[in-house]
Amino acid sequence: MPPILLAVDKAYPKGLMWFRRDLRVDDNAALYHALRSCRQVLCVFVFDRAILDALPSADRRVEFIRESLVELDAELRTLGSGLIVRHAVAADEIAALAHALEVQAVFANRDDEPAALERDAKVFGALANAGVTYHTYKDQTIFERDEVLTKTGQSYTVFTPYKRAWLAKLEAFYLKPYPVRHYADALAPPPESHRAGVPTLKAIGFEKTNLAELEIPTGTQGGAALFDDFFQRIDRYDASRNFPAVRGPSYLSVHLRFGTVSIRQLAGVAHQLALQGDVGAATWLSELIWRDFYFQVLAFNPRIGEGKSFRPEYDKIIWHHGKHADGLFDAWCQGRTGYPLIDAAMAQINQTGYMHNRLRMVVASFLCKDLGLDWRRGEAYFALHLNDFELASNNGGWQWASSSGCDAQPYFRIFNPVTQSERFDPEGKFIRRYLPQISKLSNTSIHAPWNATPVELEAAGIVLGEGYPKPVVDHAEARERTLQRYGVVRSKATAAN
């Protein structure tokens, strides 16, 4: 179907749409405003060396982006345009490209991560010096920054009142999609010298991963397929979301991270179903609101993105350190702690770049409160390995688990990895999927192999300490040490009362 041509005043002869974490055409705020404001719009994506040069040569996220860009470029070509792709330092390249293309304005969707804000400030300055206007728009959240505040004009630090305010503010306007295709006639093809297309992974210094083998769908088509699948079972989300062996989650987090789905579409469907009494949809909508909440927390407290606890008193905790601590951290990373649910969860993230949400909480609690290791070590590991890594949500989750964040679990709440395993993987299906070496244990013993009888261990072909490790810590003893470690926080709280 050809684009609908609508008459509209154009402020600029030519503009540049800078795609970042919004890799889609439809319902894209910045692209919509660029098309509405410019007689001609060119499109660019930059493989930012300031980010990529710090990554390993095989990174599923880079491959996800690359495959999604191929689809985005093809879609733009059907609309008479195409994607300019660069491999450079974005803070320098955007201004240089704007000059080379002789555009009067650059359009992008906002990114409130500290490094992104620093990059954008440099871009803004360079463009301003060249006389080019820089416009940014909200696109990755329903409400951002200061859009949902307390009655005294402060940011929220507790989720439940934030959620109430979020829902009270929500109306159709905030969920309405941007009709990009109505103005697609403004899309222009890149100059011949800028039509190299999307580079191969090898061309930007990366290798293929197991992304295709894992059948992780990419691009807007992949995001749409996942959403269609989830829509058929969203009513069961509240009951199934905590069981890692069950297909309960939406699996859309990586698509939200890179903008191959629209948050307005997802929240709109969930909200409508929730109004109709769908408990599963209401529960999932709460998860989307948590995401907005953590974005606001980061926007108002950028120091938490720089390794600081949201609650400063928790920075006084003395974490276990030294050679032994490093050994414990290595065991946690490799899934060799001797606690099957922990080890299976770490195998999942190491093999796939994904970890079930319930397990993220359990392994984070184990790192901080069983091993006594600094939550920042786990946060950094997740940041490197998660396909769906977002600074705000990752930091919020880790600070929640370590009790140092806003609206976090109390310091004395410590997940028992065995009871969590028995409750949420009762038949050991998830454990067996990722730890085949202990798959022959009974549904009882698989949660705590050290309690299995010698006869059962022998029958299962297991020698603890060889084929599968003995527990690196005793949970009961570790719990007592954690309560002592957090004493500095307890003492301050007592003094304040």
Report, as residue numbers or ranges, the catalytic residues.
Answer: 287, 290, 319, 357, 375, 398
Q: Which residues lie closer than 8 Å to 184 by C-beta, 6 or more apart?
A: 3, 35, 79, 80
CA separation for the pair 284, 486 (Å, rounded): 33
Strand partners, 105: 15, 133
Q: Are strands 133-137 and 105-109 parallel, antiparallel or unpaired?
A: parallel
Q: How far is CA 331 from the centre of its chain?
A: 24
Six-digit token string for 304:
């938490």
Query: For the residues of 30-47, what is the DSSP string, one character each?
Result: HHHHHHHHEEEEEEEEEE
Coil, helix or strand at residue 443: coil
Query: For the residues of 287-344, what is the DSSP string, one character each?
Result: HHHHHHHHHHHHHH-GGGGGT--SSGGGGG-----SHHHHHHHHHHHHT-SS-HHHHH
CA separation for the pair 82, 12 (Å, rounded): 20
CA separation for the pair 247, 65 (Å, rounded): 25
Helix then strand then coil, % of the chain, to nearest 5: 55, 10, 40
**Rg, C-alpha atoms of the chain:** 24
299 burial type by CB count under 10 A (0-12 exposed, 13-18 middle, 19+ buried): buried
Six-digit token string for 225:
């397929």
